[in-house]
Structure 1
Amino acid sequence: MVSEYINPLVIQRADPQIYKHSDGFYYFSASVPDYNRIELRRAKTINGLAHATPKTIWRKHDTGEMSQLIWAPEIHFLNGKWYVYFAAASTTEFDENGMFQHRMFVLESIAENPMESEDSWIEKGRVETPIDSFSLDATVFTLKNKLYYVWAQKDPTIKGNSNIYISEMANPWTLKTEPVLLTKPEYDWEKQIFWVNEGPAVIHHDNKIFLTYSASATDENYAMGMLSLNDDQDVLNPNAWRKSEKPVFTSNLEINQYGPGHNSFTVSEDGTKDILVYHSRNYTKIAGDPLYDPNRHTNVQEFGWDVEGYPVFGSPVNYNYE
């Protein structure tokens, strides 16, 4: 498969999200390797993001619950305002379950232009969940005028590092309903080194909702899974979702693209094609913890749909370095 887009699109940016807004701009957010700030880029084209100047909109605190390991920011436009969801920790140490100590937080822009300045972003605080535990990778989507929050979290009573949950929201920073467990690691490909379901992303196509997620350790084992349901079903009913038994996007060993995942979705410039956004590495020999290896790069590629209306992601594309 050949991509018309530059790949890697943005180097050393993991957990990427690209959002196309009604102003004609693409907005890009991702984890920075220093894990110490949130930055945005914007451009009129997807390829333009490769050369766009990053703008820091928020920096970690010196101490406290938002002072360490700033992960996976996502920008969304809700009810006429810009919001950024992200995870942060108070320490780099592990908790009693052997997990990092992240919780989830929200920023709100008081400016129409989210690129304006750091002063234009205010902290709306932590998104509280019933279980006070490791939680991260939040995304949101709207269906039938209701806002839903989807995230990954550790339940101490369930084996593994994280599961995927969903809740309706009362507002962009507050849950309205009890969280519902949608998926936990159960297949072998979700339990390589670590038992992980994380990085949810949602796309609505025809009459179906698709929720992709990433599983296993963040090395070459990292892969994408998928849940689906019809959009006339209740998204808060876990039994309504159908989970794929096999991964839907995996490493491409022939071209040295390893561990594709933590994806998001956007659309082409003319609005006619769906685009998969994800990170991957081009080598497997990682010194130390893969989390601290900075070379997870952002990639983008078109994908299509089969006759039943399900996405066909194909395989990661090769670098083209345009």
Structure 2
Amino acid sequence: MGEDALDGGRDFGDGVALMCYTRHPTDRQEANNEDIALSMHLALRSRANGHWEPLNGDYGIFFAAAVPTKAVPDSALGACTAGAALPGEEAPQEGEHNPGLDAHQASQAAQELAVVPGQDLILKSLIDPFLLPLRDGTFVILATRVARGGQQDGSQADSFLMALSPDLLTYRRLPQVHILGAHGVHRPRARLLDDGQGCRLYWDDDRGRLCTATADDPTRMGTVTGMKVLEDDAPLAQGDPLPLDRRRALEEDCGMKGILAGNVVSVSADCERGLLERFGRIYNTGVKVDSVQVRRGDGLESVRQARARLLYSDGSTALREVDWDQGQLDRLAGDLAQGRLNPGATRLIGGRVRQTAYPVPFARQRADPSIFRWSWRGERLFMFIATEDADGNCVDPLNGHTHMPLRVADTIEGLSDQAGGHEKEVDLLRRGDRNSEGRVMTGCFWAPEIHLIGGRLSILFMPCFDGPQTNPDGTANDRAGKPDMWTGCCHIMQLRRDDQGRDLDPRRPENWDRPRPILRAEGTPLNPIQRISLDMTVLHDTGRWYYAWQQLGSVWIAAFDPARPDRLTSTPRQIIVPEFAWDNMIAEGPNAVVHDGRIFLIYSGSLVGIDYTTGLVTAPAGVGADLCDPGVWKKLDYPLQKSGKYNGHWQLGTGHGMWSQDEDGTMIYVFHNAEHDQDRYLGRDSQVRRVHWSAEGMPVLDMQTDEELDPTRATVTLEVRVL
């Protein structure tokens, strides 16, 4: 069909062509089920070869937000930031994609100023995306909203989905645009009027007829009136920006398989750069080592500490240690000591940029991993702790031999299975141990995290207990007398100290105090509705300490005093709600790090298994922000990390990660992925990767080994000048 079919005959000038599209759903094992495929994807046309290049690994970038049911009060929606502008709607009939919805009653979470995913929120997807660029650089996104899974949800009767974006990196969703008198609204599209202020809308009705109407302000359409049905030869019909034949030609000629094309627009070089920095691959483009000056008689400490600066395609940099040639260092030291080098002399020292390759998997059947670097009485320790997940059973694994395994080594690599870490594990807790209340802990020991709280080495985790005969609603409990995850709640245990106030050896189970449940300020459970609370982590900012954890399928936060870490000092608040199909009714496993004045709080979305993903919210650091206010947190619209290939091999269900540091102080990311074989779920394995920070200040969690350091640039040379 040629260029006219692809671009509508337009000249893109200095801009570059951008296409929006959805994909045909294929398989969960390809990270392309309905939840992912039915979202707006983006592809740029390469300036080098003219080929279309999918962004974000051909994964969705803009997703429809969940809609609250009408029964949910506004006061409960504070953490629903993506759908903040969306009014409540009638709940659909109960089905596989929206189980538990109640059209007439909000969940009990409303009493806590919160919502419960799957009960108060209706998940949505989208098809037929269309981009309308405005003259001020804003993009209007139009699409057909559908139910999660792709079925019609009734909104197509007279409305379409709409959102605004300044850069296609962030999005503001608006209420559905309703068209008065419409009999079906499908494939919404638009073009600007000549005055550049209003726009003409086009859509197909239920009978396949082309319809049109005008809107005075494309950014505030609300309800549109004056619709017309157009005949094929009507002059206005010729202005349709995306007739079906052009769409089909685009799908045939673009070279991308399995897509349902939207339209093609021109974007500026700045927009292109932003999209590539965020959604393209970042790779190593150079290595620099600054020269070092030494004096005769001085030691070589400055030479040994010389580091390499790695340069990347987006303009970002990273510092790495270098393993310098020891023989050359020894000769240089001898020559300096013997006075054989005069001022002005130079010497070249060769070396190799340090790039530790961590084993994959790092630890089999270890989920929710945590690595903590700590100094004990002058000895540097790395501690690894995780959930036992033998054969995917994390409630009562190993025929009931539930335990909390700890590994300790002097290097991170020494913690791995490959280095014998599994055989050296110490069980800090076992089934049958009692908590501080005297209750017998019989299962789970979920998501243990090691933190330093008020100077005390502490472990946060969730044990569970044998279930009662009946559930809180009076129904029979099928876990009665057996480990019941729903009885679990967040606990803390801390390392004891000797009479001189020195920390005892963390490798000895008896050196830890009895686990204590963490309670609200008034001494009541964290979760008054479902009992279970889990995945607790710690945040510290501007002199205040916070816990963040999962309950009711979402992330909550509250302040506490490190002098009494088993009691909250503020009312728990919901701050992260899973609002998209990709995070699929769960937000859990929070963990935070501060970087360049921002708190990066990652969380895991979707159900445990091969669909697991990692989301992100951010908040300002060091300015005294109230982190218990949901409005302080800004949510990313798409996963920060997702299933994909790492160094050529698929890793599915990546999530529940923790920020940490390696021996050189470089940030690492510890997480798990699902072990999967021919539709059989086999549990979760721990992995370790280094974190790269992009030029715009975003963490990159999926940088491949060769992208981090081009192997041809790994060998470097240091120039040493004698003063």
Partner residue in 2 for 1:13 = 366
Aligned pair 1:109/2:495, yes or no? yes
State the alpha-carbon separation in 2 of the partners of residues 315 and 96 from structure 1: 46
- Superposed CA deviations along residues 136-191 of structure 1, whole A, max 9, x for unmatched, are 0001122223221110002xxxxxxx110111112322111111111111111011
Equivalent pair of 2:433/2:440 in contact (CA under 8 Å)? no
Equivalent pair of 1:251/1:315 in contact (CA under 8 Å)? no
Counterpart secondary structure, 1:270: coil
For residues 158-307 of structure 1, what are the structure 2 equivalents within 5 Å? 162-170=553-561, 171-191=564-584, 195-231=585-621, 232=623, 233-252=625-644, 255-271=649-665, 273-283=666-676, 285-287=678-680, 290=681, 293-294=682-683, 296-307=684-695
Counterpart secondary structure, 2:638: coil
TM-score, normalised to structure 2's length? 0.39
Aligned pair 1:145/2:539, yes or no? no
Partner residue in 2 for 1:38 = 404
Partner residue in 2 for 1:26 = 382
For residue 429 of structure 2, the aligned residue among 49, 58, 68 is 58
Partner residue in 2 for 1:157 = none
Equivalent pair of 1:250/1:315 in contact (CA under 8 Å)? no
Does 61-70 or 196-205 show the bigger shift? 61-70
Give the % identical residues.
27
Counterpart secondary structure, 2:514: strand
Change (3 A) 1:304 1:46: same
How many angstroms does 1:218 deviate by?
1.3
Partner residue in 2 for 1:158 = none
Counterpart secondary structure, 2:642: coil
Aligned pair 1:78/2:453, yes or no? yes
Counterpart secondary structure, 2:578: coil
Partner residue in 1 for 2:269 = none
List gaps (5 residues or longer) in structure 1.
155-161
Partner residue in 1 for 2:697 = 309
Counterpart secondary structure, 1:100: helix
Change (3 A) 1:109 1:62: closer
Equivalent pair of 2:527/2:533 in contact (CA under 8 Å)? no
Which of the two has higher C-alpha Rg?
2
Equivalent pair of 2:604/2:655 in contact (CA under 8 Å)? yes
State the alpha-carbon separation in 1 of the partners of residues 433 and 704 from structure 2: 39
How many angstroms does 1:6 deviate by?
1.9
State the alpha-carbon separation in 2 of the partners of residues 41 and 237 from structure 1: 37
Equivalent pair of 1:3/1:301 in contact (CA under 8 Å)? no
Q: Which amino acid aligns with 1:109?
A: L
Equivalent pair of 1:301/1:317 in contact (CA under 8 Å)? no
Q: Which amino acid aligns with 1:188?
A: A
Aligned pair 1:87/2:87, yes or no? no
Equivalent pair of 1:256/1:283 in contact (CA under 8 Å)? no
- Superposed CA deviations along residues 90-112 of structure 1, whole A, max 9, x for unmatched, are 23699568973321111122142
**Does 1 or 2 have the higher relative contact order (CA < 8 Å, sep 6+)?**
1
Change (3 A) 1:124 1:32: closer
List gaps (5 residues or longer) in structure 2.
1-282, 284-354, 390-396, 478-484, 498-502, 520-524, 707-723
- Superposed CA deviations along residues 51-79 of structure 1, whole A, max 9, x for unmatched, are 33111112232684622222111112222
Q: Which amino acid aligns with 2:508?
A: S
Does 239-248 or 15-24 show the bigger shift? 15-24
Partner residue in 1 for 2:486 = 100
Q: What is the alpha-carbon root mean square deviation over aligned residues?
A: 2.6
State the alpha-carbon separation in 2 of the partners of residues 310 and 90 from structure 1: 40
Equivalent pair of 2:518/2:526 in contact (CA under 8 Å)? no
State the alpha-carbon separation in 1 of the partners of residues 557 and 505 from structure 2: 27
- The structure that is strand-richer by fraction is 1
Query: What number of residue pairs does the alignment pair up?
Result: 302
Change (3 A) 1:118 1:252: same
Partner residue in 2 for 1:67 = 442
State the alpha-carbon separation in 2 of the partners of residues 223 and 283 from structure 1: 15
